[in-house]
Amino acid sequence: MSWSDFFLMQQELALILLALVLLVVEISLDTENKHKIIPVANFLFIPILVIGFLNTSTGSLFGDMYITDPTRILMKNILNVGVFLVFLQVSNWLKTQANNRNRISEFYLLIISSLIGVNYLISAGNFLMFYLSLELTSIPIAALAAYEQYKHKSAEAGIKMILSSAFSSGILLFGLSLLYAGTGTLNYGAMAIASVDLIQSMGFIFFFSGLAFKISIVPFHLWTADVYEGAPVAVTSYLSVISKGVAVFVLAIVLITLFGEIQGLWQEVIYVTAILTMTIGNLFAIRQKNIKRFLAFSSIAQAGFILLGLVGGSNFGTTAVLYFVLIYIFSNLAAFGVVSVIQNASDKENIYDYNGLYKTNPRLSLVMMLALFSLAGIPPVAGFFGKFFLFAAAAEAGMYVLLLIAVLNAIISLYYYLLVVKAMFINSNDQPVPKIESDFFARAGLILCTAGIIITGFISWIYEYMLNNSFGI
Amino acid sequence: METYIFYILAGAILIFALLSVTTRRVLRAAVYLLFALGSTAGIYFMVEFLFLAAVQLLVYVGGVVVLIIFSILLTSQINDRLEQPEWLKVMATMLLVVVGAGLSLFVIREYDFNISETAMTAPTVSDIGLKLLSYGPGGYVLPFEVISILLLAAMIGAIVIAKRMKEND
Amino acid sequence: METSLNYTIWILILPFAAFVLNGLLSKRLPNQVASAISIISILIAAALSYYLAFVYFTDIGKAAETFMAIKAFDQTWLRFTESLQIKIGFLVDPISIMMLIVVTTVSSLVFIYSIGYMKGEKGYNRFFAFLSLFSFSMMGLVVATNLFQMYIFWELVGVSSFLLIGYYYDKPSAVSASKKAFIVTRFADLGFLLGILLLSYYGNSFDFLEISSDNGAAVSQMGGITFMGMSVLSWALLLVFTGGAGKSAMFPLHIWLPDAMEGPTPVSALIHAATMVVAGVYLVARMFTVYSFGAPDVLEIVAIIGAFSALFAAVIACTQFDIKRVLAFSTMSQIGYMMMALGVSGYAAEGLGFTASMFHLFTHAFFKALLFLGAGAIIHSVHTNDIREMGGLRKYLPISHITFLIACLAISGIPPFAGFFSKDEILAAAQMHGMIYFGVGYLVAGLTAFYMFRLYFMVFWNKNQPAESKVHESPSVMTIPLIILALGSIFAGFVPFGNLITTNGQVLETEFHVSLAAATVGIALVGIVVSYLFYAKPSDRPERIAKSLGGFYRTVYQKFYFDEIYLFITQRIIFGIFSAFIAWFDRNIVDGTINAIGWLTAWISSRIKGLQSGQVQQYAYVFLGGVLIIGLVFFYYWMR
């Protein structure tokens, strides 16, 4: 193993370096100037994004503990972009809330730790690494969910997340132990899953449930709404796109590279859970009054749509998942960005508080409208293309009933997304949200998201690139 | 003889685990947990996995449970009793537990484990240490380092939650 | 491939540029500049379309006595697989050119008309931006080379019409109407999307020319695969038709159209008369080869739904008092006519229905746009939509009166106005296919004449004094488009459609059926006369006769008696009970079903809320329960 091999681990190493640099910077800042870490973190994150595009070679390290290839690097890049957008959105909140002042750098350090976990999780080549990185992704976020500990809801969100996540880890570990019992190894490469072994299939079911928890697939989704509602908006947006995105990616990786032999089993499982997830997510989303809870259920429904891309296990389906997650990051972060700006300025988070938003904040309303249109999948915004490819993947797999249910759900979702649009543009309000001047970073974040929503669908090479780097059975 | 010891230990684990979740006093639950974990260590000793047994005793019995007991003593009234759960909930939970246990048991019993021919020698501490820091095939240095990041993150997380605003103190 | 067709891209780019310019600078531009940008861009696009039509029909289009489809350009955009790609292109063939002519002509006139109609409204620039967006999307739809491009523009059309209908966004009824239109058409569009997915996966192509080539051989293999008793090809085409039915307001997806009349009247003229609502007809016509060879059963459904919608809407139109709603139902009825004509059509020599349908689409665009714009001029003058509050306007609005009359004559099928020729062909085609279709078509022709002249007499005759004395004619920016459209309504019927637009591109011999024409004109005249009797004068007849009741002439009495029975049967039974029932059915059952679906969803959603209790223990319980259920189900299958 030579030094140059470490370049295969470029993204993780750069992130660890960033974390250490931020720790040093934190120490050197005196108490009054803690907020100066915000621009430092934001600008130092840009090289991380660039590094991801430098080296896209294939290889493995540490005796197959760590695997990398262009697809995995692409996945990491997608999620790193998402985290960058979260960073941009969070700065204003961190800076202006008095209670946060002496804990700003901790926020960044925890997110970056979690992101390191995300990167290792994608590159894991062994279930030991897999499990450790999975915990690394979620434990720092559970702490962040309780970041506003002085608020009852935030503390509650933290404890609920830690408890549920411990429970799901238990289930996942039990599944892994059954898999180990059945194959005698934890190494991806050495693990030969055979459809004849009951213990392996059962192990897979437990393993899948543990991972489904992270994606908020019904019936493993119940924690989502409470945690999303209670946690600070920035943490919620991280949970809803990054934590969910990485779980989807890893699920795609293991389903296709490891569990291809038992495709019959997981196809059925995903088929049923996809229907449940879309439908339940939608039905709950309709009744929500709180915008964060609303977006939580909408994100559950979106997870159901994502499963359409996995169900066939084809190259094309995986591409659709990659593409959709990228678009979903832009759309959901744009929506959460607006929610964050408004909550920060006026502490309002109910849907009826958005009544008449257009009159006072036309730009924010437009961004929100585009984001919701994209989530609803209305052409010509990118969300449509994302959903189209997912639907096409289900059609390719020949699952017409599933496709039909998905389409019906898409219509239901259209209804509740339009309700929010209606609230912003049409409903009148005696006390609308006052006019808001957002800061540079928040504005940059929203502009990037909006650009992503509009152009991702039209720039065909993004899709081409993903198609060329995708994988399937 | 060994068989009898095994059944005694296994029975102890089961009984203590059951007591731990059914008792209505928090402190007693923690103590029952302590016994359950201790009995598990006993099984490890029995199969001559000394390192694992030691870790079990040190970390779980000596560390985690003691921590739990401390935190219970610090935060709640020891005499408080938990609510009596509803009858329906108890039954529902029982059902789930029985089904889950039955399913798992059946699956494990069905499986034909290959028993390896060569006599297994328990690894020594130095074997384990070398494995932990080896970076070749079968080495665990990368997970080891990931754990260190995880611990660092957990510490920072604890600080974030525990840190009060200066004005409040 | 002709490189000389590169200029066609400007037909699309110009309106889009106008939209971007007006959209981005909407606050900064003066009103005149904003409208000028939109109008000039659409006029240039119109000129290019006319030029293209001229070149195509006289020169480049014809090869071996057949009009060919030409792709002006076709750019690859997204690639699924090697063989399945999404392209953006510009298809030139007879029907796309015909539609381009219709869209650009009507758009130009509506744009000009809007200068006068929208004067002083707030958001004037925004309105023109949306109009440009709409025209761009509509033309993109028309020239689409493949299903996917069509779908994208199809949705863009939906979005821009959503924006235009909801233009009066401070008016709750307008907003709920635009929402309804959006959701209902989206519902249909998702059917369309499913159809596209099915077609593309079995036919392995989105391209119209490829799936239609060799009489649809590429997709005919789908005929063998069946799903629930129907071949997959039939399912796919039926789903595609669902999309078309939604846009074209076919029963039962028509419920959005009358409500959409809440939008500004020029929008109704543009979107709900001439362009967007015929997109469904255009879609079926575009894929006619596939329908005709692949799924004649679906074509039969198209005919049935078209005929039923035509009759259904015509009956409702007789009962409405809102001028725009009458026109809306009339539009639905006429589009039903076109659909029926497509449905009854055969291929090649039997393709009269296809030609007739396109012909009627063409002529209808003129007189229906004229009717809407005329209605707009009337509403603009008297500030009400209710025809009972109008009357005797002919002296005050002379230009509107004459042009409206021309349009009424045209839609009623009176020679030599445009509607006569196209309607005659449709009825001839229906007669060839089945007498039931002919019967329905014939009845609708009579009803059409009746309700149109009911409208005409109630608005322009009836009472002698207008409701307000200060009623005056609209400005010339509004009347000139009326006059131009009136000319179109007179002369559009003389275009030799049989030579230009046919199923296979070859000339179709159409003959003129004197007896049929006479019968059609006859029933139209009956309709006109009946409406004259009822509505031309204020209905004081009962009172007058009441005075003579104490009187002396038995004959007078008998006449009265006869009159009363006549009135009773027609007014009370036919229009009072029968039509009222259909109108009630429409309002309560069809609308109600859609509402009930929404209500049901909300109800289910409220029933399951207990799942989300906030207790972590319960969450864990459900979690474990979920795992075990999956495990047990798997285990069950394993043991078997």
The predicted-structure confidence for C60-83, as pLDDT tens digits, reads as follows 767 767 777 777 777 777 666 666
Residue A134 has pLDDT above 50, yes or no: yes
Residue C541 has pLDDT above 60, yes or no: no
Residue C547 has pLDDT above 60, yes or no: no
| A148 interfacial to chain B (CB closer than 8 Å) | no
Closest CA to C316 of C583, C590, C576: C583
Closest CA to A110 of A77, A136, A80: A136
In one letter, which amino acid is A281?
G
Whole-angstrom distance between the N-terminal and C-terminal Cα of chain A?
32
Q: Is C83 exposed, middle or buried (0-12, 13-18, 19+ CB in 10 A)?
A: exposed
Coil, strand or helix: which one is C207?
A: strand
C558 CA to centre of own chain: 47
Peptide bond into C252 cis (omega under 30): yes
Percent of the residues in chain A that have a pLDDT greater than 70, as a whole number: 100
Coil, strand or helix: which one is A187?
A: strand
Residue C302 has pLDDT above 50, yes or no: yes
What angle (nearest 5°) sits at the alpha carbon of residue C211, between those of residues C209 and C217?
A: 120
Spatial contact of A350 and A398, defined as CB atoms under 8 Å apart: no
- Which residue shows structure tokens 């004037």? C124
Interval C507-516: pLDDT, tens: 777 666 777 7
| Global ipTM | 0.88
Q: Which residues contact A86 (CB under 8 A, 6 or more apart)?
A: A111, A234, A237, A238, A241, A242, A333
- Which residue shows structure tokens 């009135």? C567
CB distance B93–C621 less than 8 Å? Answer: yes
Interval C328-354 mean pLDDT? 84
By mean pLDDT, which of B46-50, C444-448, C547-551 is the weakest?
C547-551
Coil, strand or helix: which one is C89?
A: strand
Peptide bond into C416 cis (omega under 30): yes
Interval C145-164 mean pLDDT? 83
Distance from C-alpha of A187 to C-alpha of A291, rounded to nearest angstrom = 43
By mean pLDDT, which of A351-355, A449-453, C611-615 is the weakest?
C611-615
Interval C585-603: pLDDT, tens: 666 666 666 667 667 777 7
Secondary-structure percent of chain C, ordered helix, strand, coil, rounded to 5? 75, 5, 20
| Predicted local distance difference test score (pLDDT) of residue C229 | 62
Which chain C residues contact residue A287 at CB under 8 A?
602, 605-606, 609
By mean pLDDT, which of C295-299, C464-468, C523-527 is the weakest?
C464-468
Closest CA to A174 of A210, A201, A216: A210
Residue C117 has pLDDT above 70, yes or no: yes
Which of the four pLDDT bands, split at 50, 70 and 90, describes residue C553? Answer: very low
Question: Which of B99, B104, B106, B111 is the mutation pick for testing C, counting most C CBs within 10 A?
Answer: B99
DSSP state of C255: T
Which chain A residues contact residue C616 at CB under 8 A?
159-160, 163-164, 223
- Which residue shows structure tokens 């030029």? C51
Interval C363-388 mean pLDDT? 82
Which chain A residues contact residue B110 at CB under 8 A?
198-199
> Which residues are A75's β-sheet partners?
none
CB distance A415–C619 less than 8 Å? Answer: no
Spatial contact of C380 and C117, defined as CB atoms under 8 Å apart: yes
Peptide bond into B85 cis (omega under 30): no
Distance from C-alpha of C583 to C-alpha of C257, rounded to nearest angstrom = 14
Residue A136 has pLDDT above 90, yes or no: yes
- What is the C-alpha R_g of chain A? 21
Instruction: State the pTM of this model.
Output: 0.81
Chains near B with 3+ CB pairs less than 8 A apart are: A, C
Please report the residues numbered 69 through 128 in chain B whose beta carbons come closer than 8 angstroms to any beta carbon of chain C: 92-93, 96, 99-100, 103, 106-107
Which chain C residues contact residue A415 at CB under 8 A?
183, 598
Whole-angstrom distance between the N-terminal and C-terminal Cα of chain B?
61
CA atoms within 13 A on the CB side of A48: 27
Of residues B111, B140, B157, nearest to A143 (C-beta): B157
CA dist C421 → A382, C369, C414, C491, C518 (Å): 46, 18, 9, 10, 12
Which of the four pLDDT bands, split at 50, 70 and 90, describes residue C579? Answer: low
Interval A387-417: pLDDT, tens: 988 988 888 888 888 988 998 888 888 878 8
Question: Which of A60, A113, A138 is the mutation pick for testing B, counting most B CBs within 10 A?
Answer: A113
Distance from C-alpha of A133 to C-alpha of A137, rounded to nearest angstrom = 6
Distance from C-alpha of C1 to C-alpha of C6, rounded to nearest angstrom = 11
- Residue of higher predicted confidence among C70 and C467: C70
Interval A424-438: pLDDT, tens: 877 777 777 888 887
| Predicted local distance difference test score (pLDDT) of residue A248 | 95
| Predicted local distance difference test score (pLDDT) of residue C226 | 64
> Which residues are A54's β-sheet partners?
none
Q: Which residue of C has its CA nearest to B106?
A: C635
Residue A123, Cβ neighbours under 10 Å: how many? 28
Distance from C-alpha of A191 to C-alpha of A257, rounded to nearest angstrom = 10
Please report the residues numbered 154 through 213 in chain A whose beta carbons come closer than 8 angstroms to any beta carbon of chain B: 158, 174, 178, 181-182, 197-199, 202
Closest CA to C190 of A176, B118, A415: A415
In one letter, which amino acid is B79?
N
| B169 interfacial to chain A (CB closer than 8 Å) | no
CB distance B103–C621 less than 8 Å? Answer: no
Q: Which residues contact C34 (CB under 8 A, 6 or more apart)?
A: C22, C26, C124, C125, C128, C129
Buried b (16+ CB within 10 A) or exposed e, C561-583: eeeeeeeeeeeeeebeeebeebb
The mean pLDDT of chain A is 88
| B105 interfacial to chain A (CB closer than 8 Å) | no
| B78 interfacial to chain A (CB closer than 8 Å) | no
Interval C173-199 mean pLDDT? 76
Residue B108 in tokens: 């494990």
Distance from C-alpha of A473 to C-alpha of A48, rounded to nearest angstrom = 32
The mean pLDDT of chain C is 77
Coil, strand or helix: which one is C536?
A: coil
CB distance B96–C631 less than 8 Å? Answer: no
Residue C583 has pLDDT above 70, yes or no: no
By mean pLDDT, which of A416-420, C123-127, C361-365 is the weakest?
C123-127
Spatial contact of A300 and A218, defined as CB atoms under 8 Å apart: yes
Interval A450-470: pLDDT, tens: 999 988 877 777 888 888 888
Distance from C-alpha of C498 to C-alpha of C496, rounded to nearest angstrom = 6
In one letter, which amino acid is A389?
F
CB distance B166–A102 less than 8 Å? Answer: yes
Task: Please report the number of interchain residue pairs, chain A to chain B, with beta-carbon separation below 8 angstroms.
Answer: 107
Q: Which residue of B has its CA nearest to C627?
A: B100
Interval A76-113: pLDDT, tens: 999 999 999 999 988 888 888 777 777 888 899 999 99
| Predicted local distance difference test score (pLDDT) of residue C293 | 80
Of residues A117, A140, A181, nearest to B157 (C-beta): A140
DSSP state of C261: G
By mean pLDDT, which of A446-450, C374-378, C388-392, C481-485 is the weakest?
C388-392
| Predicted local distance difference test score (pLDDT) of residue A273 | 93
Distance from C-alpha of A333 to C-alpha of C569, rounded to nearest angstrom = 65
Interval C520-545 mean pLDDT? 68
Percent of the residues in chain C that have a pLDDT greater than 70, as a whole number: 78
Interval C12-23: pLDDT, tens: 888 888 888 887
Which of the four pLDDT bands, split at 50, 70 and 90, describes residue B138? Answer: confident
By mean pLDDT, which of A191-200, C67-76, C96-105, C133-142 is the weakest?
C67-76
| Pairing, β C226-227 against β A59-61 | unpaired
CB distance C186–A220 less than 8 Å? Answer: no
- Residue of higher predicted confidence among C585 and A381: A381
| Predicted local distance difference test score (pLDDT) of residue A249 | 94
| B58 interfacial to chain A (CB closer than 8 Å) | no
Percent of the residues in chain C that have a pLDDT greater than 90, as a whole number: 0
Which of the four pLDDT bands, split at 50, 70 and 90, describes residue A245? Answer: very high
| Predicted local distance difference test score (pLDDT) of residue A169 | 93
Interval B3-36: pLDDT, tens: 899 999 999 999 999 999 888 888 888 899 999 9
Spatial contact of A375 and A417, defined as CB atoms under 8 Å apart: yes
Interval A158-182 mean pLDDT? 91
Residue C541 in tokens: 């007849």
Interval A171-223: pLDDT, tens: 999 999 999 988 888 888 888 787 778 888 899 999 999 999 999 998 888 88
CB distance B139–A16 less than 8 Å? Answer: no
Q: Which residue of C has its CA nearest to B98?
A: C628
CB distance A201–C172 less than 8 Å? Answer: no
| Predicted local distance difference test score (pLDDT) of residue C431 | 81
Closest CA to C12 of C81, C94, C75, C85: C75
| Predicted local distance difference test score (pLDDT) of residue C405 | 86
Closest CA to C30 of C128, C110, C97, C174: C128
Which chain A residues contact residue C80 at CB under 8 A?
316, 392
| A142 interfacial to chain B (CB closer than 8 Å) | yes
Which of the four pLDDT bands, split at 50, 70 and 90, describes residue A33? Answer: confident
CB distance B96–C621 less than 8 Å? Answer: yes
Distance from C-alpha of C325 to C-alpha of C386, rounded to nearest angstrom = 10
Which of the four pLDDT bands, split at 50, 70 and 90, describes residue C540? Answer: low
Q: Is C23 exposed, middle or buried (0-12, 13-18, 19+ CB in 10 A)?
A: middle
| Pairing, β A59-61 against β A66-68 | antiparallel
| Predicted local distance difference test score (pLDDT) of residue C559 | 41
CB distance C631–A206 less than 8 Å? Answer: yes
| Predicted local distance difference test score (pLDDT) of residue B169 | 42
Closest CA to C370 of C265, C255, C489, C522: C489
- Residue of higher predicted confidence among A306 and C492: A306
